[in-house]
């Protein structure tokens, strides 16, 4: 099934979290450790939650593959058949120009030196996507008589091409050994039951040490997902305000320059869905895909001019998709979702349709993320919902490329993987890591040549370990960032396992609690 179920009542978390703290150790355990099964899931945005709880100095002793702690840095502060969606119309305007500017517009769109439009206007004065947007400095976009004009009810791009071609000259990609930008969402407001709007900017220096920059950018309510483009020069941030009906989703786009500064480019408003879950770029960086967890949702397709701008293309109808991953070659993608009994879809990215539906799992899976192996022949799907018959499991899929359409099947299924959430393969595909939210740890696996994972060990002492991101290029390739309650932990894949390097704390209070994390490639 493709049904996603959220069971956490955040207001009841405080006493349980206290109990978790009492049993939260800082050691690294050996193979097969799954920890005691807990009773608290990932804190959902807007449900409230505890203030900062710091497990203290992380050590990292005694486990396979762990070589100790380098430092603890604390800083205050789907359709049953393939669908033709060529004339799919999707309800809602594009704010401003469908092909976003390379940089901040004049007037209401002017970005501050922190890299955001604090008033969040972004051409909001346009009553609809039919409006003349040429008033914006640098925007020459006019209605072109095609999709997106008066006969179209959807947020199609208004221009045949970039509105200001030639005006955008993105910086080259950061050198492999250069300083990287790290972004951390803070999705909770001061009251805990309200939305936060901040994304914090951090730096991962040339020595692999993570520090705060002192800069935050203001986005929309409850930032949900943050993803860098493959060249690191664009950032997409999806937000989901689950406090105020009709719970609108938003997708904001930022340019990211060589100095690590973020400049607001544009915002796509009014998408027909209500719940952004995951974002994936194509490997060439020319397309992006946003899953929309709703019965009338699907996968939103965005066109990307690398380093410059992003415009809306269409929606691939799919019932309540959660996670998505693009396969090598950029011709197909795997998406978890579909109407019962279907639970996984193979998307044709050339036609923007569902190429095939599959029923792989015996019950619904709750998979906010999936990971594709570097060779594209393996996919890891965590299933963390305890109310599912296949909850607390990690599925390893294999992809058969012998036909015209790739075919997924279950290669192996690991049980007793409690509350799995974030998942990644190592850069060479020989290892993988999964966060275990309720067990306050991450479990790492050895991946055999046939794609089957076996448990290698775990890194503990990470309270409500949740979202993950990994640097896959340069001398620090394999560095993994794990967002925990109000901390970020720095781990690294090694030849023998996973090593803990650092913990950085964001302080106390609801506003310090972490959400998604992303690292510049």
The pLDDT tens digits of the residues spanning 398-407 come to: 999 999 999 9
Q: Which residues pair with 298 in a beta bridge?
A: 292, 317
Question: Each residue of 82-141: pLDDT tens digit?
Answer: 333 333 333 333 333 333 333 333 333 333 333 333 333 333 333 332 223 233 333 333
* Four-CA torsion 114, 119, 122, 127, nearest 10 degrees: 180
Strands 498-505 and 71-74, how do they pair?
A: parallel
Predicted local distance difference test score (pLDDT) of residue 45: 38
pLDDT band at residue 14 using 50, 70 and 90 as cut-offs:
very low
Predicted local distance difference test score (pLDDT) of residue 273: 54
**Average pLDDT of every residue of the chain:** 76
Q: What are the structure tokens assigned to 141, written together?
A: 């976009």
Predicted local distance difference test score (pLDDT) of residue 366: 84
Is 332 in a helix, a strand, or coil? strand
pLDDT at 224 over 70: yes
pLDDT at 199 over 80: yes
Predicted local distance difference test score (pLDDT) of residue 268: 77
Predicted local distance difference test score (pLDDT) of residue 242: 67
Predicted local distance difference test score (pLDDT) of residue 240: 83
pLDDT at 362 over 50: yes
Return the top range by mean pLDDT from 57-66, 93-102, 131-140, 234-243: 234-243
pLDDT at 232 over 60: yes
Question: Each residue of 410-464: pLDDT tens digit?
Answer: 999 999 999 999 999 999 999 999 999 999 999 999 999 999 999 999 999 999 9
The structure's pTM equals 0.72
Q: What are phi and psi of 188, to 5 degrees?
A: -115, 145
Helix (H) / strand (E) containing 113 = none
Residue 64, CA atoms < 13 Å, CB-side half-sphere: 15
pLDDT band at residue 396 using 50, 70 and 90 as cut-offs:
very high
Predicted local distance difference test score (pLDDT) of residue 47: 39
Is 305 in a helix, a strand, or coil? strand
**Rounded distance between C-alpha atoms, residue 178 and residue 272, angstroms:** 40
Predicted local distance difference test score (pLDDT) of residue 175: 97
Would you list the DSSP string of 284-301?
A: TSSEEEEEE-STT-EEEE
Q: What are the structure tokens assigned to 74, written together?
A: 């604390």
When mean pLDDT is compared across 60-64, 381-385, 389-393, 495-499, the lowest value belongs to 60-64
Closest alpha carbon to 162 in 102, 211, 244: 102
For the chain, helix, strand, coil in percent to 5 are 5, 35, 60
Predicted local distance difference test score (pLDDT) of residue 35: 35
Predicted local distance difference test score (pLDDT) of residue 295: 79
145 burial type by CB count under 10 A (0-12 exposed, 13-18 middle, 19+ buried): exposed
State the average pLDDT over residues 291-312.
91
104 or 345: whose pLDDT is higher?
345
Q: What are phi and psi of 109, to 5 degrees?
A: -90, 5
Predicted local distance difference test score (pLDDT) of residue 339: 86
Are 30 and 64 in contact by the 8 Å Cβ rule? The answer is yes
**Rounded distance between C-alpha atoms, residue 259 and residue 79, angstroms:** 45
pLDDT band at residue 243 using 50, 70 and 90 as cut-offs:
low
pLDDT band at residue 214 using 50, 70 and 90 as cut-offs:
very high
Predicted local distance difference test score (pLDDT) of residue 267: 84
Predicted local distance difference test score (pLDDT) of residue 495: 95
Q: What are the structure tokens assigned to 154, written together?
A: 């959807």
pLDDT band at residue 167 using 50, 70 and 90 as cut-offs:
confident
Question: Each residue of 316-341: pLDDT tens digit?
Answer: 999 999 999 999 999 999 999 998 89
Predicted local distance difference test score (pLDDT) of residue 304: 95
Predicted local distance difference test score (pLDDT) of residue 294: 81
Helix (H) / strand (E) containing 53 = none
């Amino acid at each position: 099934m493709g049904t996603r179920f959220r069971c956490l009542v955040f207001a009841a978390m405080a006493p349980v979290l206290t109990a978790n703290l009492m049993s939260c150790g800082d050691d690294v355990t050996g193979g097969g450790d799954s920890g005691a099964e807990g009773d608290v899931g990932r804190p959902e945005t807007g449900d409230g939650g505890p203030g900062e709880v710091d497990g203290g100095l992380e050590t990292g002793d005694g486990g396979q593959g762990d070589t100790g702690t380098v430092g603890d840095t604390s800083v205050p502060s789907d359709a049953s058949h393939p669908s033709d969606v060529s004339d799919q119309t999707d309800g809602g305007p594009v704010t401003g120009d469908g092909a976003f500017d390379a940089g901040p517009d004049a007037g209401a769109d002017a970005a501050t030196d922190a890299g955001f439009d604090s008033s969040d206007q972004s051409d909001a004065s346009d009553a609809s996507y039919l409006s003349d947007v040429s008033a914006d400095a640098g925007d020459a976009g006019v209605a072109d008589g095609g999709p997106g004009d008066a006969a179209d009810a959807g947020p199609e791009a208004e221009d045949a091409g970039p509105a200001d071609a030639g005006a955008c000259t993105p910086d080259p990609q950061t050198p492999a050994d250069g300083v990287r930008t790290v972004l951390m969402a803070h999705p909770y407001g001061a009251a805990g039951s309200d939305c936060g709007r901040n994304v914090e900017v951090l730096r991962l220096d040339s020595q692999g040490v993570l520090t705060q920059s002192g800069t935050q950018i203001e986005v929309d309510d409850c930032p949900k997902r943050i993803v860098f483009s493959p060249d690191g020069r664009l950032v997409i941030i999806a937000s989901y305000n689950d406090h105020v009906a009709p719970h609108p989703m938003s997708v904001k786009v930022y340019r990211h320059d060589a100095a690590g500064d973020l400049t607001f480019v544009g915002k796509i408003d009014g998408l027909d869905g209500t719940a952004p879950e995951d974002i994936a770029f194509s490997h060439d960086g020319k397309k992006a895909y946003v899953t929309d967890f709703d019965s009338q949702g699907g996968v939103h397709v965005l066109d990307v001019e690398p380093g410059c701008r992003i415009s809306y293309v269409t929606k691939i109808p799919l019932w309540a998709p959660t996670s998505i991953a693009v396969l090598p070659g950029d011709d197909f993608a795997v998406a978890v979702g579909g109407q019962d009994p279907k639970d996984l879809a193979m998307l044709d990215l050339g036609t923007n349709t569902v190429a095939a539906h599959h029923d792989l799992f015996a019950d619904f899976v709750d998979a906010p993320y999936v990971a594709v192996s570097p060779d594209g022949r393996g996919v890891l799907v965590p299933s963390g919902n305890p109310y599912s018959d296949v909850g607390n499991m990690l599925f390893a899929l294999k992809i058969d490329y012998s036909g015209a359409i790739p075919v997924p099947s279950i290669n192996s299924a690991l049980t007793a993987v409690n509350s799995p959430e974030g998942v990644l393969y190592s850069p060479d595909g020989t290892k993988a890591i999964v966060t275990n939210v309720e067990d306050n740890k991450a479990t790492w696996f050895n991946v055999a040549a046939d794609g089957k994972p076996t448990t290698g060990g775990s890194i503990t002492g990470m309270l409500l370990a949740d979202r993950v991101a990994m640097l896959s290029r340069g001398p620090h390739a394999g560095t993994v960032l794990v967002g925990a309650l109000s901390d970020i932990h720095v781990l690294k894949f090694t030849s023998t396992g996973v090593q803990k390097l650092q913990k950085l704390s964001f302080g106390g209070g609801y506003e310090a609690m972490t959400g998604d994390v992303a690292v510049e490639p």
